[in-house]
Amino acid sequence: MNDGASSSRRGGCGETVLIDHGQLRSSCGYCRSSSYTSISHGLWAQSIKANDYQDLLDRGWRRSGCFLYKPEMESTCCPPYTIRLNACDFVPSREQVRVQKKMQRFVEGTLNPRKLHQFQEVGFTECNINSCNNESLAITSSGISSGKSLSGKIEKKFNEDEFLQVLANLVNNAISACIDRGDFPSIKFPTAVVKKVKFQAKRKLTEDLLYTSNIPFQIAASLKRPQSAQGKNSPSQLNNPIQNGGSLDVTPNIIAEMLSSSIKLDDTPFGLLVKACNGHLNFCSSTEHSEYSDLVSNTVACTQTFGGVRGKDKESCSTESSANIPLKKKKLEIRMKRSCFDPVEFALYKRYQIKVHGDLPDKVTESSYRRFLVDTPIIFVPPSGTKSTKSVPPCGFGSFHQQYVIDGKLVAVGVVDILPRCLSSKYLFWDPDLAFLSLGKYSALQEINWVKNSHAHHPSLQYYYLGYYIHSCNKMRYKAAYRPSELLCPLRHEWVPFDIARPLLDKKSYVVLSDFKTQHHQSSPNDTSSYPDYNGSNRTSRDEKSEAGILNEHEDIKSEAKDSGEPLRNELMLFNVGNILIDLQGSRLRFKNFRQVYGAIDKRFIKELELQLERFVGVVGNDLSGRLIYSLG
């Protein structure tokens, strides 16, 4: 499919046409271990109505391009629960408010885009220093010191111990980032220590080496400890993402490279270069960054260090020349466009996948991008002024790319589906150079705000769907930060408040949530002695994630086997499969009329098809089964 609009043309008069792929097996993409298996039911949608896809979402389905899938919760290692939020009830947290204010300051020109966030993370504060026009920061082989004016901005004298702590915090943040991405297991690692390299050692190594840390050796030792204590096949090793397929020989060199790459993504302070060498993490000087005028941008600077300021540093900056430095404001635009291939978007997507997720360049192809984020089976419903379609928003129903453009440059793209009752967030990719803006969180807040504004004019559109929530995978837990959210019961498909579901999922990864929807006032949810056993796993979490840089996950479902066993029945099926409309090579007829039209059909084929239809009704529901067309390809 070349563009998103083509799905409506293939859908003819606007019909939902599905091809049943049955049960599919794949290795789990969340616990990252081949020992665990994800089992899903798959459908290929030739075309699908917006309201039909809405109903599928409310039964736990999700799409990747034109492929629809629903994990079989009771037999999947990491059960994913559909999570949603009523936009009108949303209450932003302090962190979410900070993200919005940070973007506002960035657009107004009062936020330094490259350096400020590093100082904020380690305890510096902001002040107006438009007029600090005489001196700047300098870095020498002995650390940070005051010096003569390099760029005519500011002077600040740092205690070297304080600067070493700044570098140590960068390393600790890199370790946390590796845990967030699943590169390291979620265990307690030693705190990083950065030391100054002595002059004698520098002569033996390299003149530009300033600081070093041996934290990779300590991390390697921590990773080997669970192996010797628990045995080779212990759960902690099976869940260890750094094994990457089972290798347990993790060397300090590998860990140093991973930390070095993570720090490079965030940029180092004062232009220092970070290098991995013989298992050490080294900070080296860079001649091209000897001046630090970019540390000060417009109106932002540091007014105090960790231990406070001394002497003249306590005095506030002069304001004599503040009027001579104008603020450089930026223009932020958010555009909603129908899903289609855009080479500028693809270039940003490829850069994002390579730099943020570590994908190989030859693996990020135009065809894979189209299949994942451009192709859509959802039939576009245009806006109209008639009373019959007054519930359709101005953009219409269908699949869209929400572009974030700053000063004419594309910086982020949110892929979303606009449906009769919700905005379903599918994926987000953004400019790695703007990671400090937390664009994942910011875009989620904008999408919530879009739903809230749309609800005022179209009352049925009120929910924000965040995709899947996996309690056993801490990478997914950021979604619960958008409160108050609800999880979908995997059996009865009722919505249950997250506050009720959370203590249940702390004990079991698979829980029929609706069983406790009316019981939570009668007994404490922390008491699990009365919980019925649903054969759910009770593994501990394997990843740690609270960053919304990746607000919407990429599930890559690949078929390895089909299960022809008994159909799964998650509810009482009262629907007569004989009434299902079947498409066979362009001919349409009800299943009950098959034998009349094709009298010579093998009885075994009819029986097998009947079992497939029963399974199909069980996973899509009675109502939808009567509305769609079941295609035999």
pLDDT at 299 (0 to 100): 29
Could you give the CA distance from residue 65 to residue 375 in angstroms, rounded to a whole number?
Answer: 5
Q: Please choose, from the candidates 3, 7, 125, the residue with its C-alpha nearest in 3D space to the C-alpha of residue 378.
A: 7
Asked whether residue 310 falls in the same domain as residue 362, the answer is no
Which residues lie below 8 Å from residue 177, measured CB to CB, with a gap of 6+?
A: 262, 265, 266
| pLDDT given at position 28 | 76
Domain end, chosen from 303, 324, 345, is at: 324
Same domain, 265 and 337: no
Residue 216 reports pLDDT greater than 50: yes
Range with lowest mean pLDDT among 31-45, 243-257, 387-401: 243-257
Top-confidence range, 376-385, 423-432, 607-616: 423-432
Question: Tens digits of per-residue pLDDT, 414-462?
Answer: 999 999 999 999 999 999 999 999 999 999 999 999 999 999 889 999 9
Per residue in 261-277, pLDDT tens? 877 654 555 567 888 88
Predicted confidence at residue 600, as pLDDT, reads 65
Same domain, residue pair 423 and 294? no
Higher pLDDT, 119 or 399: 399
pLDDT at residue 494, as a whole number: 95
Tell me what pLDDT residue 445 has. 97
Range of the domain at 482: 6-95+330-516
Residue scoring higher pLDDT (377 or 539):
377
The mean-pLDDT minimum among 282-286, 485-489, 619-623 falls in 282-286
The Cβ-side half-sphere exposure at 601, using a 13 Å CA radius, reads: 15
| pLDDT tens for each residue of 345-375 | 999 999 999 999 999 999 999 999 999 999 9
Are 267 and 284 in the same domain? yes
The answer to the question of residue 557 being in a domain is: no
Residue 549 domain flag: no
- In angstroms, the CA 169 to CA 186 distance is 18
Order the strands of the 62-64 sheet from edge to edge.
62-64, 67-71, 37-47, 17-27, 629-631, 581-584, 587-590
Same domain for 318 and 342, yes or no, is no
Indicate the residue among 516, 548, 568 that finishes a domain. 516
The one-letter amino acid at 51? N
Average pLDDT over residues 271-284: 83
191-200, 475-484, 519-528: segment of lowest average pLDDT:
519-528
pLDDT at res. 271: 62
Q: Quick one: 28 and 123 in the same domain?
A: no
Position 258 scores a pLDDT of 86
Quote the pLDDT of residue 405: 97
The confidence band for 527, taking pLDDT boundaries of 50, 70 and 90, is very low
Per-residue pLDDT of 118-147, as tens digits, reads: 434 433 333 332 333 333 333 333 333 333
Q: What is the mean pLDDT of residues 160-178?
A: 83
CA 88 to CA 68: how far, in whole Å?
29
Task: Specify the pLDDT at position 537.
Answer: 30
Kindly report, residue by residue over 142-167, the tens digit of the pLDDT: 333 333 333 333 234 346 777 788 88
Which pair of tokens denotes residue 140?
């020498």
Closest C-alpha to 131, from 113, 112, 153: 153
The reply to whether 528 falls in a domain is no
Residues 472 and 511 both lie in one domain = yes
Q: Could you tell me what percent of the chain has a pLDDT over 70?
A: 66
- The pair of structure tokens assigned to 447 is 């999408």
Order of strands across the sheet with 398-406?
Answer: 332-338, 398-406, 409-419, 422-430, 463-469, 81-86, 485-488, 495-497
pLDDT of 43: 95
Degrees to nearest 5, angle at CA 113 with 213 and 322: 120
Cα–Cα dist 249/232, whole Å: 12
Within this chain, do residues 453 and 493 fall inside the same structural domain, yes or no? yes
H helical segments located in 184-251: 199-204, 215-230, 235-238
Query: What average pLDDT does range 324-335 have in this prediction?
Result: 79
Q: Which amino acid is at 174?
A: A
Helices 215-230 + 160-181 axis angle, to 10: 40
Secondary structure class of 416 (helix, strand, coil) = strand
Mean pLDDT for the stretch of residues 523-539 = 35
Residue 186: strand pairing partners: none
Rounded distance between C-alpha atoms, residue 431 and residue 173, angstroms: 20
**Are 417 and 399 spatial neighbours (Cβ–Cβ below 8 Å)?**
yes
- The gap between the terminal CA atoms of the chain, to the nearest Å, is 17
Question: Which pLDDT score, from 0 to 100, does residue 139 have?
Answer: 32
In this prediction, residues 363-392 reach a mean pLDDT of 87
Does residue 303 carry a pLDDT above 70?
no
Tokens 């993370």, located at residue: 121
Biggest CA pair distance of the chain? 99
Q: Nearest Cα to 219, choosing from 264, 177, 252, 183?
A: 252
Highest mean pLDDT among 42-51, 241-250, 386-395: 42-51
Q: Among the ranges 144-148, 255-259, 596-600, which has the highest mean pLDDT value?
A: 255-259
Q: Give the per-residue SS3 of 151-180.
A: CCCCCCCCCHHHHHHHHHHHHHHHHHHHHH
Choose one of 262, 294, 324: the last residue of a domain.
Answer: 324
Indicate if 317 and 338 belong to the same structural domain: no
Identify the pLDDT of residue 269: 54
156-165, 305-314, 571-580: segment of lowest average pLDDT:
305-314
In a domain, residue 36? The reply is yes
125 versus 615: the higher-pLDDT residue is: 615
Are 400 and 339 in contact by the 8 Å Cβ rule? The answer is: yes
Please indicate, yes or no, whether residues 85 and 136 belong to a single structural domain of this protein: no
249: domain CATH number is 3.30.1360.70
Q: What is the pLDDT of residues 556-571, one digit of tens each?
A: 444 333 443 443 444 4
- Identify the pLDDT of residue 279: 86
More confident residue, 187 or 540: 187
Residues 316, 210 share a domain: yes
Mean pLDDT (whole number) for 570-596:
78
How many structural domains comprise the chain?
A: 3
Q: Is residue 483 part of a domain?
A: yes
Give the integer Cα–Cα distance in Å for 561 and 69: 15
Task: Answer yes or no: do 296 and 149 share one domain.
Answer: yes
Query: What is d(CA 416, CA 552) in angstroms, rounded to the nearest whole number?
Result: 10
Which residue would you say has higher pLDDT here, 507 or 231?
A: 507
As a whole number of angstroms, the distance between CA 16 and CA 601 comes to 26
